């Protein structure tokens, strides 16, 4: 009624039957986030959020400013100015100089071809490098070796004092798009369609000298590699723009498994052809990957997919999880999954397991894309293909967070403290558990009462 009244609901009416995006009503019992704080400061798209420690995080974006925030109070701790152009990469770096106290630093790289190391405690710039040949697009810290790598058109290795230890030859103009640390002092760099494995080896002529050697080039992807994530010491996963997902062995860099076009009939042969046709390459791009020990969670186009590493197949998916591309995805400890999207919403999913009983209709979430949860023949057939004893998983929407008015670029999960989301609308929103906050405030209140000595007078 209201939609009619005020001119359209979340989706225009015309789209309603076509869209298969699952929606959840306003009643969200399981959604803990009932309080929010809007953090204002940025003047342009906020693209990055990095956690510094238990209660602090940094945000950075296209305005070239880095803000440090207190995740509990939302207080702005520092405003770091130094870059003249947008930030392209940010990484936390804690240098322990042999002393017992940890020194929290963050490294930021910008399109102005500088890299700056900031001290989070004082909010001051520690060091700055401005002699770079190209924009650094990714940063990786090898905490174990106390070095960090920057990936632009070449790959450089730096130590904590911002000394260039070694660098590769020019790789490509496009530059390294992603870096991931592998065992045995190796790193995998995504360079275009190629995945290049480099090895760091200590040089002979110095205590702190390192050499970097290209070990292997993997050319299995057919399109640019868009995401790269390390699952555990033995495996890492890459995803490409056309939706290929490849699981690699981290030790010998061989392909363990691959899931190509796992959105289409190779997995679900019954999918109607027109849906496949409707999927543009953009919509199949693997935007982001996350993983826990068992599964890889892939944000592919508008959907999210759960790929089980042991079963080597997609065990659950939400093909149209959002109205628009999913930009970031994260697995929470409690079997929940959070995704954020260009449509400005953040959704909380829960991976549920349902023991499949023969001939029982498939529950809603699993093959949601076909409609509104009515079990149909196709679903039944698909289900029958599975092993009888296989648990059936599905992703259920347990809540959504609507606050941003533009694409939510990224989010940061702070456990109890809540969730920070950043967006193209220049805002950062801290989502909090209202109950918890309320009781925390009560605690503060009584502390303050006691401090002021007001409790005694009550007697």
Partner 1 sequence: MISAPDVVAFTREEELEDDLYREPPLPEEYSVPLFPFAGQGANPWAKVAGSKFTRDFILISEFSEQVGPQPLLTIPDDAKVSGTFDLNYFSLRIMSVDYQASFVGHPPGSAYPKLNFVEDSKVVLGDSKEGAFAYVHHLTLYDLEARGFVRPFCMAYISADEHKIMQQFQELSTEFSKASECLKTGNRKAFANELEKKLKDLDYTRTVLHNETEQQKKANDKGYYTTQAIEKANELASVEKSIIEHQDLLRQIRSYPYRKLKDSEFHPYEPECALERAGVGSDQDPAASDPAEPGETHLYTHVPSYTPKLIKAKSAKCFDKKLKTLEELCDVYFFTQTLDQLHHIERTFRGDVCYLLTEQISRALLKQQSVTNFLFEDVSFLDEKPPEKQYRGCQGLGQGAMDEKCLEESLAPKVVISLGSYKSSVECVPIKMEQEMEDSEEPKMAESVMSEHQENLDYLDADIKGSISSGESIEVLGTEKSGSGLTKSESQASLPVMPSPQAGRSKVGSRRTVSEDSIEVLSTCPSEALIPEDFKASYPSAINEEPYADDDEGGLRFTPRANLADDGQDDVSKQESLVQVDAACCIGKESPNFLEPLPELGQKPCEEDGVVRIPPQPYRAEQGLRGGFPSHEGLSAGLLPYELDSRYLSGSREVSKSSLDECSDSTSYISSAASTCSDRTPSPAHLGSAAGERHRKRAGQNALRFIRQYPFAHPAIYSLLSGRTLVVLGEDEAMVKKLVTALSIFVPSCGVYAKPVKHWVTSPLHLVDFQKWKLIGLQRAVSPAGVNVLHALSRYSRYLSILDADSKTLRCPLYKGAVVARLADHRTQIKRGSTYYMHVQSILTQLCSKAFLFAFCHHLHLPISEREPEESVVHRRMNFLKLQLGLANEDVKIVQYLAELLKLHYIQEPGQGGNPLLRFDYVPSFLYKI
Q: Residue with structure tokens 């949601």?
A: 368
Q: Residue with structure tokens 């490509």?
A: 172
Please report, for residues 125, 235, 411, the alpha-carbon distance to residue 328 in angstroms, rounded to integers and kept in the order given. Answer: 29, 21, 7
Please report, for residues 22, 190, 317, 323, the alpha-carbon distance to residue 19 in angstroms, rounded to integers and kept in the order given. Answer: 9, 34, 16, 8
Q: Which 106-125 residues touch partner 1, going by CB under 8 A?
A: none
Edge-to-edge strands, sheet with 225-230: 225-230, 235-240, 245-249, 255-259
441 binds partner 1 per the rule CB under 8 A: yes
Please report, for residues 328, 383, 396, the alpha-carbon distance to residue 393 in angstroms, rounded to integers and kept in the order given. Answer: 21, 11, 9
Contacting partner 1 (CB under 8 A), which of 53, 54, 75, 416? Answer: 75
Instruction: Name which of 384 and 441 has its Cβ closer to partner 1.
Output: 441
- Radius of gyration of the chain from its Cα atoms, rounded to whole angstroms: 24
Find the shortest distance in angstroms from Cβ 439 to partner 1.
6
73 binds partner 1 per the rule CB under 8 A: yes
Instruction: Name which of 31 and 380 has its Cβ closer to partner 1.
Output: 31
Sequence-distant (≥ 6) Cβ neighbours of residue 43 within 8 angstroms: 63, 65, 426
Instruction: Name which of 206 and 453 has its Cβ closer to partner 1.
Output: 453
Q: Which 386-405 residues touch partner 1, going by CB under 8 A?
A: 399, 402-405
Instruction: Name which of 277 and 457 has its Cβ closer to partner 1.
Output: 457
> Which H, E and C letters describe 445-459, residue by residue?
HHHHHHHHCCCHHHC
Taking the C-alpha atoms of residue 202 and residue 185, their distance in angstroms, rounded to an integer, is 10
Select from 225, 227, 198 the least CA-distant residue to 213: 198
348 binds partner 1 per the rule CB under 8 A: no
Instruction: Name which of 33 and 307 has its Cβ closer to partner 1.
Output: 33
Taking the C-alpha atoms of residue 121 and residue 105, their distance in angstroms, rounded to an integer, is 8
Name the segment binding partner 1 (CB under 8 A); options: 56-64, 236-244, 369-377, 445-453: 445-453
Instruction: Name which of 27 and 293 has its Cβ closer to partner 1.
Output: 27
Instruction: Name which of 349 and 393 has its Cβ closer to partner 1.
Output: 349
74 binds partner 1 per the rule CB under 8 A: yes
Find the shortest distance in angstroms from Cβ 384 to partner 1.
37
145 binds partner 1 per the rule CB under 8 A: no
Q: Which 1-40 residues touch partner 1, going by CB under 8 A?
A: 1-3, 5-10, 25-29, 31, 34-40
Residues lying near partner 1 in the complex (CB under 8 A): 1-3, 5-10, 25-29, 31, 34-40, 73-75, 399, 402-405, 427, 429, 434, 437-439, 441-446, 448-449, 452-459
């Amino acid at each position: 009624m209201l939609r009619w009244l005020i001119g359209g609901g979340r989706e225009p009416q015309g789209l309603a039957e076509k869209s298969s995006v699952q929606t959840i009503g306003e009643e969200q019992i399981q959604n803990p986030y009932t309080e929010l704080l809007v953090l204002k400061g940025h003047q342009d798209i906020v693209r990055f959020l990095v956690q510094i420690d238990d209660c602090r995080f940094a945000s950075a974006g296209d305005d070239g400013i880095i803000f440090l925030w207190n995740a509990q109070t939302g207080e702005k701790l520092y405003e770091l100015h130094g870059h003249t152009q947008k930030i392209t990469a940010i990484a936390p770096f804690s240098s322990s100089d042999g002393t017992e106290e940890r020194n929290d630093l963050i490294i930021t790289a910008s399109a102005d071809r500088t890299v700056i190391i900031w001290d989070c405690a004082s909010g001051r710039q520690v060091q700055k490098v401005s002699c770079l040949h190209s924009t650094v697009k990714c940063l990786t810290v090898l905490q174990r070796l106390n070095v960090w790598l920057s990936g632009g058109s070449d790959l450089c290795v730096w130590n904590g004092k911002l000394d260039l230890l070694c660098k590769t030859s020019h790789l490509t103009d496009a530059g390294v798009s992603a870096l991931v640390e592998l065992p045995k002092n190796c790193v995998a760099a995504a360079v275009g369609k190629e995945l290049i494995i480099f090895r760091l080896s200590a040089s002979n002529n110095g205590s702190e000298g390192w050499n970097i050697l290209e070990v292997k080039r993997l050319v299995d992807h057919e399109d640019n590699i868009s995401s790269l994530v390390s699952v555990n010491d033995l495996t890492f996963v890459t995803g490409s723009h056309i939706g290929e997902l490849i699981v690699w062995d981290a030790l010998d860099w061989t392909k363990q498994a691959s899931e190509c076009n796992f959105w289409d009939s190779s997995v679900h042969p019954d999918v109607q052809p027109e849906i496949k046709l409707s999927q543009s390459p953009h919509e199949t791009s693997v935007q982001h990957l996350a993983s826990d020990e068992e599964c890889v969670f892939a944000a592919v186009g508008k959907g999210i997919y759960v790929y089980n590493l042991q079963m080597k197949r997609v065990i659950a998916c939400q093909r149209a999880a959002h109205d628009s591309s999913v930009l970031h995805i994260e697995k929470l400890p409690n079997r929940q999954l959070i995704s954020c999207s260009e449509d400005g919403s953040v959704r909380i999913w829960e991976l549920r397991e349902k023991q499949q009983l023969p001939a029982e209709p498939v529950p809603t979430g699993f093959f949601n894309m076909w409609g509104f949860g009515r079990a149909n023949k196709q679903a039944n057939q698909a289900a029958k293909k599975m092993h009888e004893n296989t648990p059936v998983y599905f992703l259920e929407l347990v809540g959504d967070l609507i606050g941003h008015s533009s694409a939510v670029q990224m989010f940061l999960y702070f456990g109890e403290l809540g969730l920070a989301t950043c967006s193209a609308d220049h805002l950062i929103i801290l989502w909090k558990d209202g109950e918890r906050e309320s009781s925390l405030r009560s605690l503060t209140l009584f502390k303050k009462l006691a401090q002021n000595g007001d409790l005694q007078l009550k007697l």
